[in-house]
């Protein structure tokens, strides 16, 4: 029996390992081909763990807050934490006073984003960050029941945050721009030149590449979504600002380090754009 308490022998143990490795490879292969039942299973897990995770999160939030306060190492983090508390308090007290209502409206007003134009929007609260250390995603508290679908862009105050990669009824997962698998077609705001921005698995920092060497790319230039046909994102959404530029004469390309416009540290609310790429 596979689950005996004592090792049944080296050959049997090796056989078990080979079986598990083959099972993993099978799962990886099916997943890479977007096998329907596996996708459904992952969406179901997202929905299943939502209430479980929320309950545990609520119970341990004071611990987490205290911990974050103890391990936080910059003023911005503290300010964001205070703002988080403020927003949570205002949510609960919305009907209790006009002053609180006005303050909350001001906070919500920050989410009225000029660059999204007429695209329908869904506001959502960020409920958790990545589960693992190699997870450049966040979860939000809205899902398919609010009209959210896979592929929709997600923005916050400063600009583009990422896109929806998984949806349950009342929960969605957002792949952040910082994910190494994330690619966004961008152009320089107010100037010609198109390139690609990729995540580096690093907070706030992105890498832009594939700009023609003749492109006028300078420090502090704003990169915005190019919105080319079949692009995952609509045009003209701010992505980030150039912090350094490198020209490669061999490949005749320019690359740049980019700092994201949207602040991913302690995101509280995001806006999902109900927009799908043109087929």
Partner 1 sequence: MKVAIQVGLVVLSAAVLQRGVFSQLGMAGVVIEVLLIVAIAAGLSAGDQAGAITGFAAGLSLDLLHPDGPLGLFALTYAIVGWFVGRYQSSVVRSSRWLPVVAAVVATIGANVLYVVLSLLVDQRDLLTSRLLPVILVTSVGSAVLILPAVRVLRWAWDVQPDLAMRRR
Binding of partner 1 by 130 (CB under 8 A):
yes
Is 46 or 223 the residue whose CB approaches partner 1 more closely? 46
Identify the sign of the CA torsion 82, 126, 49, 122.
Answer: positive
CB of 261 to partner 1, least distance (A): 20
Q: Is 40 in the site for partner 1 (CB under 8 A)?
A: no
Under the criterion CB under 8 A, does residue 42 sit at the interface with partner 1?
yes
Distance CA 91, CA 31 (A): 39
Closest CA to 225 of 242, 206, 210, 240: 240
Q: Exactly one of 90, 126, 137, 225 binds partner 1 (CB under 8 A); which one?
A: 137
* Smallest gap from residue 12 Cβ to partner 1 (A): 7
Least distance (Å) between residue 106 CB and partner 1: 28
Which residue in 140, 148, 154, 165 binds partner 1 (CB under 8 A)?
A: 165
The pair of structure tokens assigned to 143 is 């899902």
76 belongs to the binding site for partner 1 (CB under 8 A): no
CA nearest neighbour of 84 among 61, 102, 101, 56: 61
Task: Specify whether the CB–CB gap between 186 and 234 falls below 8 A.
Answer: no
Closest distance between partner 1 and the C-beta of residue 10, in Å?
Answer: 8
**Part in contact with partner 1 (CB under 8 A); list of ranges 11-19, 107-115, 217-225, 226-234:** 11-19
Binding mask 168-197 for partner 1 (x = CB under 8 A): -----x-x---xxx----------------
Pick 179 or 221: Cβ nearer partner 1: 179
Contacting residue, 12, 96, 228, 252, with partner 1 by CB under 8 A: 12
Q: For residue 20, what are its two tokens? A: 């598990």
Instruction: Report CA-CA distances (Å) from 151 to 26, 32, 77, 121, 246.
Output: 26, 17, 30, 14, 32
Q: Per CB under 8 A, does 220 bind partner 1?
A: no
Q: Which of 268, 270, 235, 266 is nearest to 76 (CA)?
A: 266
Q: Which of 105, 203, 248, 259 binds partner 1 (CB under 8 A)?
A: 203
Sole binder of partner 1 in the list 40, 60, 76, 120 (CB under 8 A): 60
Residue from the set 93, 128, 183, 243 that interacts with partner 1 by CB under 8 A: 128
Tokens read off for 126? 């960020």
Q: Residue 161, CB half-sphere, CA atoms under 13 Å: how many? A: 33
Indicate the burial class of 81 (C-beta count within 10 angstroms; 0-12, 13-18, 19 or more): middle
- Rule CB under 8 A: say whether 56 interacts with partner 1: yes
248 closest CA partner among 206, 226, 225, 215? 215
| Gap between the Cα atoms of 141 and 93, Å rounded | 20
238: enclosing H helix or E strand: strand 238-248
Told to check if 38 binds partner 1 by CB under 8 A, we report yes
Instruction: Provide the binding-site residues for partner 1, judged by CB under 8 A.
Output: 2-8, 12-13, 16-17, 20-21, 23-28, 30-32, 38, 41-42, 45-46, 49, 52-57, 59-61, 63-64, 67-68, 71, 73, 128-137, 139, 165-166, 173, 175, 179-181, 200-203
């Amino acid at each position: 029996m596979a689950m005996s308490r004592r090792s049944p022998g080296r050959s049997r143990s090796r056989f078990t390992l080979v079986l598990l490795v083959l099972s993993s490879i099978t799962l990886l292969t099916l997943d890479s081909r977007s096998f329907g039942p596996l996708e459904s299973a992952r969406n179901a897990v997202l929905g299943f763990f939502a209430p479980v995770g929320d309950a545990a999160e609520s119970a341990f939030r004071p611990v987490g807050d205290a911990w974050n306060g103890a391990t936080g190492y910059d003023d911005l983090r503290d300010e964001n934490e205070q703002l988080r508390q403020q927003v949570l308090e205002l949510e609960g007290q919305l009907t209790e006073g006009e002053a609180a209502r006005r303050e909350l409206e001001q906070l919500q007003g920050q989410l009225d984003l000029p660059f999204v134009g007429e695209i329908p929007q869904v506001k959502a609260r960020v409920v958790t960050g990545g589960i693992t250390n190699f997870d450049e995603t966040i979860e939000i508290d809205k899902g398919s029941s609010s009209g959210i679908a896979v592929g929709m862009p997600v923005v916050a105050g400063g600009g583009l945050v990422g896109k929806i990669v998984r949806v349950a009824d009342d929960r969605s997962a957002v792949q952040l721009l910082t994910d190494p698998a994330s690619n966004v077609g961008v152009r320089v705001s107010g100037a010609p030149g198109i390139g690609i921005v990729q995540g580096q698995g690093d907070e706030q920092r992105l890498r832009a590449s594939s700009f023609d060497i003749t492109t006028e790319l300078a420090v502090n230039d704003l990169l915005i979504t190019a919105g080319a046909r079949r692009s995952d994102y609509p045009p003209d959404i701010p992505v980030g600002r150039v912090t350094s530029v490198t020209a490669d004469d061999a490949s005749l390309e320019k690359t740049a380090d980019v700092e994201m416009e949207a602040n991913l540290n302690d995101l509280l609310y995001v806006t999902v754009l109900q927009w799908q790429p043109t087929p």
